[in-house]
Every structure is written in C-alpha cells, then in structure tokens.
C-alpha cells in the first residue's frame, strides 16, 4: 500500500506544512477578515434600519397621539361653546318669557281694572237712572214728589248693593 | 488494468532534496496546491464585491464561514474565536482535499496517513500546549477528573491517559481509512463494469450510488475532523 511507504512521508509532510501555512496566512489575513467585515456591516445595516424604522414608528405614534389630543381638545372646546351658547339662549329665552308674562299680566290687570271701572260706572248709571225713573213714575202715578235721596236709598236697597 | 491501489501512488513531479531529506514536489503536493488555490479563489473572488445582499457565490462563502464559526462557537465558546482562522483553514483544506479526490484520475492527499497524521499531531500538540498555557499543571487534572473517588485513580488515570494520547491516532486514522476504503471500493466496483459485459449495468448502478455516498463521506469526514478538533480545543480551554 503506497500509504505505508515511509520514503514518501517527508515530501508529503513538507509540502503539507508549506501549503497549509500559506493557506492559513491567506485565510487569516485576507479572506476571513473580509467575510467578517461584510457580515458585520450587514448586521449593522440591518440594526440601523431597524432602529430607523423604530424611530419613525415612534414619531408616527407621537404624531397620532398629538393629533388625537388636539382632536379631543377641539371637541371639548366645541362642546363648551355649544353649552355656553345654549345656556345663553336659554337665559335669554327665560328673560323674554318673563318680560312677556309681566307685560301680559299687566295688560290683564289693566283690562280687569277697566272692566271693573266700566262695571261700576254702569252700575252707578243704572242706579241713578232707576232712582230718576222711580221718582218720575211716583210723581206721575200718585203725584208725590219723592226726595232724590230717598229714591236712591230705595233703589240701592232693591239692587242689594 | 490499473490495480485499486495505484491511485494512491505518490509520483514525484520535480525531484527536490534539502540536507538529504526528500522534499520532491509530488502529485500529492500538486493537489494540495490546487485545493489551496480553489479555497483561496472561492473565499476571495466570491467576496470581491462584499455586497450587502449576497449573490450565489458570496452566499456560499458566507455559509462556509458561518458554518465553521458556529461549529467553533457551539463547541468551544467565545474563547475559541482566536483559533477560528486555523479551524476554518483546516476544514476547507480537508473538505477540498476530500472532494477533489472524487474527480477521476485526481489524487486524494487526505487518503494518506502521513498527511492526516501530521495534521492530527499538530492539532494534538497545539491543543496540549494551549491546555498547559491556560491551566498550568492543573491541566494534568484532565487525567483524573475532579470529584472522582481516589480509589478509582488506579483505573481512571491509565484510561484517561490512553484516551488522551489516542486522540491523534483516531483523528488521523478515521480520515485516512475513510478516504482510502472509499476510493478502493469505487475502483474495484468500477473494474467490474467493463469485465462482465451487459451485466455491467448492475455494478454501474451500484457505483453511481456509492459515488453519491462518497461525496457525502467526503463532506462528513471533513466535518468530523474539524469538530473533533473543536472538541479537543474545548477540553484544553475549559477542561472537562
């Protein structure tokens, strides 16, 4: 078997060491640092991009939160405005209603007073007329002149005032 | 018809000798050079652009890098990072040696015990030196683990010593034997194909299957050689 031919050992081992040493040098100094550098750069790029994406996402989230806060604030302000306006309107309405009620009640009382006055006037007129008529009638029928005072008294007794 | 062992013959291409020692450049050395050139070409040309999004070649080179890096990290931990260039060179050298051997009429330098044993011995000595440098004489504890009852020392220590010193042999013989046997098998079965006429399709089919298997073994043995190196390195750095 050629593997056990000791005469070939020295040449095999010599070239093995020489070629292995050269290959080791080429790998450790040139090839492997390059691969390591490329892998590291890729890792770094991926991490950078992830970091960038995360930062952008944070920014977006912040913007959304800000927008939502602004929206809520605006909604609140609008609601406050609406509340204020409706309160004002209600107050005005109440004032107007009160004024109107006052006016109407004044009118009513005025009218009632006018009616009462008119009624009193009318009653006075009726009584006077009745006493006049009664005196005339008494005079014409029985020829007795009745004092106005007495007639008035009689009339008011009948009317029951 | 060439015998099945002829493929392992060392043929000098240029006779050289220094101080009486034969260092002729042989077919073995030629295929080592081819392997080294291919590994270097593969690892540098494919990474030339250093693209952020790797292409097919760059992806392959990165896969090899990360494969060995992970093997080292899983078996040795972060303390093994220093030895990554060596382990990577070892893996690629053995892997390419094994795979180039699958080319018909090529030469498989990893099928020679001189080569596998020389590498195994360097690994063994290196690991032992690392062990003593990190732990001093405490490294001798390797032969008698902490917590073992003192009475077991008489059995345990010889066993541990034998197992420790058999490491380079098991490393070297495993690779050499796998490569040699595989190639002999291919050659012998290949010989039958032409000999038995039309029935030759049967050994041919078998040969096809075994060729696939041998490619698997070529990769697997490179992996085993490297992972055992990692395990020895782990023992040297972390003890048991």
Report the C-alpha gap between A67 and B160 in whole angstroms. 74
Q: Kindly determine whether residue B8 and residue A3, on different chains, have CB atoms separated by under 8 Å.
A: yes
Burial class (CB in 10 A: 0-12, 13-18, 19+), B37: middle
Cα–Cα–Cα angle for B205, B210, B212, rounded to 5 degrees: 100
Look over chain A and give the mean of its residue pLDDT values, rounded to a whole number. Answer: 89
What 8-state DSSP symbol labels residue A28? I
pLDDT of residue B198: 82
pLDDT score recorded for residue A6: 82
Q: Report CB contact under 8 Å: B24, A11.
A: yes
Quick one: pLDDT at residue B2?
A: 65
Tokens describing residue B153? 């020392």
The string of pLDDT tens digits covering residues B25-55 is: 888 899 999 999 999 999 988 888 877 788 8
- Measure the CA–CA gap between B188 and A23, rounded to whole angstroms: 34
| Number of domains chain A is built from | 1
- Residue in chain A closest to B3 (alpha carbons) equals A1
- Any residues with CB less than 8 A from the CB of B225 and at least 6 apart, and which? B90, B91, B94, B116, B171, B174, B175
Sort residue A147 into left (φ over 0), alpha (ψ -120 to 50) or beta: beta
- Domain assignment present for residue A49? The answer is yes
Q: How far apart are CA A36 and CA A26, in angstroms?
A: 14
The reply to whether residue A10 touches residue B22, judged by beta carbons under 8 angstroms, is: yes
Chain A residues whose beta carbon lies within 8 Å of the beta carbon of residue B84? 32
Q: Which parts of chain B register pLDDT below 70?
A: 1-2, 240
d(CA A67, CA A65): 5
Q: Which residues of A touch B50 (CB under 8 A)?
A: 34, 37-38, 41
The C-alpha atoms of residue A45 and residue A51 are separated, in whole angstroms, by 10
Give the number of residues written for chain B: 240
Nearest residue of chain B to residue A3 (CA atoms): B112
Is B22 strand, coil or helix?
strand
How near does any CA of chain A get to the CA of B206, in Å?
A: 25
Q: How high is the pLDDT of residue A88?
A: 95
State how far residue A28 is from chain B, nearest Cα, in angstroms: 5
Percent of chain A with pLDDT over 70: 98
pLDDT class for A101, splitting at 50, 70, 90? Answer: very high
Contact yes or no for B114 and A15 at CB 8 A: no
Query: Which residues, 6+ apart, have CB-to-CB distance to B61 below 8 Å?
Result: A35, B42, B43, B46, B47
ipTM of the complex: 0.90
Ordered by start, the domain boundaries in chain B are 6-238
Q: Which of A116-125, A146-155, B135-144 has the highest mean pLDDT?
A: A116-125
Assign B12 to helix, strand or coil.
Answer: strand
User: What are the pLDDT digits (tens) for A33-90?
Assistant: 988 888 888 999 999 999 999 999 999 999 999 999 999 999 999 999 999 999 999 9
Q: Which of A13, A30, A35, A48 to mutate to test the interface with B (most CBs of B within 10 A)?
A: A35
Q: Considering only CB atoms, which chain A residues are within 8 Å of B35?
A: 19
Q: State the SS3 of B120-170.
A: HHHHHHHHHHHHHHHHHHHHHHHHCCCCCCHHHHHHHHHHHHHHHHCHHHH
- Of B45, B33, B38, B39, the C-alpha closest to B64 is B39
* Residue A11: closest C-alpha in chain B: B23
Kindly report the nearest CA distance between residue A27 and chain B, in angstroms.
6
Give the residue numbers spanning the domain of A93. Answer: 9-116
Query: How far is Cα A31 from Cα B65, in angstroms, rounded to an integer?
Result: 10
In a domain, A130, yes or no: no
* Residues in chain B within 8 Å Cβ distance of A42: 52
Nearest to A18 by CA among B6, B92, B137, B24: B24
B138 closest CA partner among B237, B229, B228 = B237
């Amino acid at each position: 078997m050629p593997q056990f031919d000791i005469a070939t050992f020295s040449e095999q081992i010599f070239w093995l060491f020489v070629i292995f040493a050269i290959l080791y040098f080429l790998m450790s100094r040139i090839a492997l640092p390059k691969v390591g550098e490329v892998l590291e750069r890729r890792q770094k790029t991926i991490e950078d991009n992830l970091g960038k994406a995360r930062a952008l996402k944070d920014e977006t989230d912040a913007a959304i939160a800000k927008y939502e806060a602004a929206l809520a604030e605006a909604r609140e302000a609008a609601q406050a405005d609406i509340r204020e306006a409706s309160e004002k309107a209600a107050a005005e309405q109440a004032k107007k209603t009160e004024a109107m009620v006052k006016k109407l009640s004044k009118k009513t009382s005025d009218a009632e007073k006018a009616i009462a006055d008119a009624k009193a006037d009318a009653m006075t007129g009726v009584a006077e007329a009745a006493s006049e008529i009664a005196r005339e009638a008494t005079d014409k029928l029985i020829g007795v002149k009745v004092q106005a005072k007495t007639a008035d008294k009689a009339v008011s007794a009948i009317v029951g005032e | 018809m060439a015998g099945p062992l002829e493929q392992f013959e060392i043929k000098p291409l240029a006779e050289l000798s220094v101080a009486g020692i034969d260092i002729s450049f042989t077919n073995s050395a030629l295929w080592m050079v081819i392997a080294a050139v291919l590994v270097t070409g593969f690892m540098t040309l494919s990474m030339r652009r250093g693209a952020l999004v790797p292409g097919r070649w760059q992806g392959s080179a990165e896969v090899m890098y990360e494969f060995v890096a992970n093997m080292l990290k899983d078996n040795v931990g972060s303390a093994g990072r220093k030895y990554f260039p060596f382990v990577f060179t070892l893996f690629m050298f053995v892997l390419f040696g094994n795979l180039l051997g699958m080319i018909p009429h090529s030469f498989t330098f990893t099928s020679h015990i001189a080569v596998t044993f020389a590498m195994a011995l360097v690994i063994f000595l290196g690991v032992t030196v690392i062990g003593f440098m990190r732990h001093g004489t405490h490294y001798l504890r390797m032969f008698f683990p902490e917590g073992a009852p003192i009475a077991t020392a008489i059995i345990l220590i010889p066993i541990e010593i034998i197992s420790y010193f058999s490491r380079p042999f098991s490393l070297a013989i495993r690779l050499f034997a796998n490569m040699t046997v595989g190639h002999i098998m291919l050659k012998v079965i290949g010989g039958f194909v032409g000999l038995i006429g039309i029935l030759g399709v049967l050994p041919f089919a078998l040969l096809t299957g075994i060729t696939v298997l041998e490619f698997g073994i070529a990769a697997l043995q490179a992996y085993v050689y490297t992972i055992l190196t990692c395990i020895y390195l782990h023992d040297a750095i972390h003890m048991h």
